[in-house]
Amino acid sequence: MSTVNQGSEFKRLWPTVVLERVVPGHENTNRALSRLIQELEQKHKNLTNDYRSDNLLATKDPALTWLRECINITVRDYFRETLNNPIPGIFFHLPHESNDLQSSDSAAHPCLAKEGLINQTFLSHLDMRYDIRWSLHGWANINRFGDYHDYHNHPHAYLSGTYYVQVPSTLERLETRRDVRPGRITFYDPRSSVNMIAIKGDPYVEPEHTITPVPGMILLWPAFVNHFVHPNLSRQLRISVSFNVMLRWSEDYLPAQE
């Protein structure tokens, strides 16, 4: 009997983790967010383009408090999924500036999994045995007919994401190519040209991944990943809140020098 395969191990290297979830019970909050964002645009016509001028997620408003809680819980869950299995002794804390989760009925929040608890413990397969703390910066996007966001990434952030407040339900009947993907978001493999020699069935054959948003969907991905938001081909507004997750620096983040 051959012993060639004994002790073999297949390793999946350089993963790119994207979290996608739809928050249950988002309808009333989304209506409130839609009104609020459109009112803000009346005061600030360049609301979507001037995303660095203010932090939407720092606004004191019940709907935005709800959304901020959702984002913080989703960031926590992203680290949990990426870092793997629970054991005692490793903690991920919600940001200090967001006390809403701890002062409100956290267990009732729709973003919290049934077993989800603040300061739940996790084990990293990368041995990340330290606190991870972050802050959020968010801005609103209102896309009318023909509006899109060009191919880009988000420098100076660790993670980036989008929450979908309002997604058009009907499209204009246009004479377009069949591969047009209105209103969708496409992510691109960060390993340039990795598909150049790909063959059918291998994991490198498709260099992009496209998601069709729905209201209440929240997406979270590494900020270095390039993405493209396809044009809105509807007369209805597409409204979303994008955000960056910035880590609060700690000496614990530095890898050991050997």
Q: Is residue 34 part of a domain?
A: yes
Q: Could you tell me the pLDDT band of residue 204, with boundaries at 50, 70 and 90?
A: confident
Burial-class residue 32 by CB neighbours within 10 Å (0-12, 13-18, 19+): middle
Count how many domains the chain has. 1
Q: Between vectors from CA 116 to CA 93 and to CA 33, what angle results, nearest 5°?
A: 80
Q: Is residue 8 part of a domain?
A: no
Whole-structure pTM over 0.85, yes or no?
no
CATH number at 89 reads 2.60.120.620
Q: Is residue 255 part of a domain?
A: no
Asked whether 195 and 189 are in contact (CB, 8 A), the reply is: yes
Q: Is residue 175 part of a domain?
A: yes
Q: Is residue 159 part of a domain?
A: yes
pLDDT tens for 224-258 read: 999 999 999 999 999 999 999 999 888 878 877 77
Q: Is residue 4 part of a domain?
A: no
- Higher pLDDT, residue 57 or 46: 57
Q: Of 56, 98, 79, whose CA–CA distance to 158 is shortest?
A: 79
Beta bridge partners of 247: 134
d(CA 200, CA 206): 10
Residue 79, domain extent: 19-249
At residue 1, the pLDDT reads 52
Q: Please compute the mean of the pLDDT values over residues 216-221 and round it to a whole number.
A: 95
Q: At residue 75, does pLDDT exceed 80?
A: yes
